[in-house]
Structure 1
């Protein structure tokens, strides 16, 4: 293991870290049992499906949540429960799936999320907010790159909340995970949100105070590059920082306020 492998390893440094994926899957399945959920596709393949969670009554707008897992793991079905807070507040929540590395390079995954956002914009009117965690934080930040989305879609995005995002991909070139990600220096540069122009959309970067130092650096780097607010949430680490999306909390307020 290289020093950077250790720096980007979350599970060994979180108490009970190995238990979180099973806990997420169980909570997600329980929420799907009670929620109004439908599934739509945005392209060929079993992973190019979007889980939609619908509120009772009127709809305030659309929130698109993109999951993490270093572009290599998980699916929307592992995080369904994170829709609860916004749905109860009257928002439609969409969770797009995407093909994973090594079958897809990161820039191809970015393209898939852009396709999913455009498909959702076609199906739903009103404002759009984007939120993503870790690799998903990277992916929602990439949606603000010039020309990434059709102008009629980009103009409807009114806020983006990258949670614990990977905003500079260059360090990943020196990790063992790059055997799967297959990044080269050129792609890492193109895919790093810190190198994008400052967006004209409000952005709130969020990270847990107890996260690994590199994730604090990644979050600060994006906030500094984009001159946008950064919240370092006390007592939260990389796995539980997303739990605020389940109910009324400062994080949920940042997304829906």
Structure 2
């Protein structure tokens, strides 16, 4: 069957295609607030850092989504629960949202916050992020000096969840009225158009019930980077949609958390 997108805005619309989709933000805020009440948290410029009871085994990073235009780290705090229970510190970096910043600026901001946290927490660094955050997680391991060499050398895994890997598609949506992605930025900021750092295992993770474009983007990144020599996998999580595919990070022994932490 031929696949062709006829409505680019609908292709990336999630809430309209998820039962009760509009109820999820309030649920996330409540779960995040409940987690913060009992979590050990350290103040860090530009993000939230959650700590385990004992010396951290390493640093896990979750980068939030929202099409680079919405939300912030605080709404996703509960997703730190799984890695923290496994003894890892968890960083949730923030970044300036569009139209206040271009995507290239967000890339630099997130890299700076990760570098700061990596200076505080010893051991391996495991990267993940969701949707636009999946884009930024993949962008961190592109072989163009985005992260300092010492930090990049510590990355043990990168697991972009439902990533937006090729920004050229976003240029066709009404969101680009705010994002203002042009072809030059699409080429310089799309992980699928860049080369990954060597020796970092990459797993794209996407819900089986997601919009076809998110499935395509997840497969695209895994396939292209495999062709550039990276060890990649694309996991399609059966029955999961764009809003619940991330819930597995709240559980220490879920397949998603295990893939991230090894």
Short-chain TM bin: over 0.9
Structure 2-normalised TM-score?
A: 0.93
What secondary structure is seen at the aligned counterpart in 2 of 1:63?
strand
* Deviation, structure 1 residue 57: 1.6
What secondary structure is seen at the aligned counterpart in 2 of 1:229?
strand
For residues 58 and 121 of structure 1, what CA distance do their matches in structure 2 show?
14
For residues 250 and 127 of structure 1, what CA distance do their matches in structure 2 show?
19
Q: How does 1:23-34 map to 2 (within 5 A)?
A: 23-34=27-38
Matched, 1:150 2:154: no
* Deviation, structure 1 residue 230: 0.6
What secondary structure is seen at the aligned counterpart in 1 of 2:206?
strand
What secondary structure is seen at the aligned counterpart in 1 of 2:247?
helix
The size of the alignment, in residue pairs, is 249
Residues 29-62 of structure 1: CA deviation (Å, up to 9, x unaligned): 0000011112210xxxxxxx21111101232100
Structure 1: gaps (5+ residues): 42-48
Q: 2:189 aligns to what? A: 191
For residues 254 and 124 of structure 1, what CA distance do their matches in structure 2 show?
20
Q: 1:45 aligns to what? A: none
Matched, 1:126 2:130: no
Q: How does 1:202-213 map to 2 (within 5 A)?
A: 202-213=201-212
> 1:236 is matched with which residue: 237, 240, 244?
240
For residues 181 and 235 of structure 1, what CA distance do their matches in structure 2 show?
31
Residues 188-217 of structure 1: CA deviation (Å, up to 9, x unaligned): 111110111143211111000000000000
For residues 217 and 60 of structure 2, what CA distance do their matches in structure 1 show?
24
**Which moved further from structure 2: 198-207 or 64-73?**
198-207
* Contact preservation (8 Å) 2:73, 2:92: yes
* Contact preservation (8 Å) 1:198, 1:225: no
> 1:67 is matched with which residue: 64, 67, 83?
64
* Contact preservation (8 Å) 2:91, 2:114: no
Q: 1:44 aligns to what? A: none
> 2:80 is matched with which residue: 78, 83, 95?
83
For residues 255 and 149 of structure 1, what CA distance do their matches in structure 2 show?
19
CA RMSD in angstroms, aligned pairs only: 1.0
Structure 2: gaps (5+ residues): 1-5, 227-231
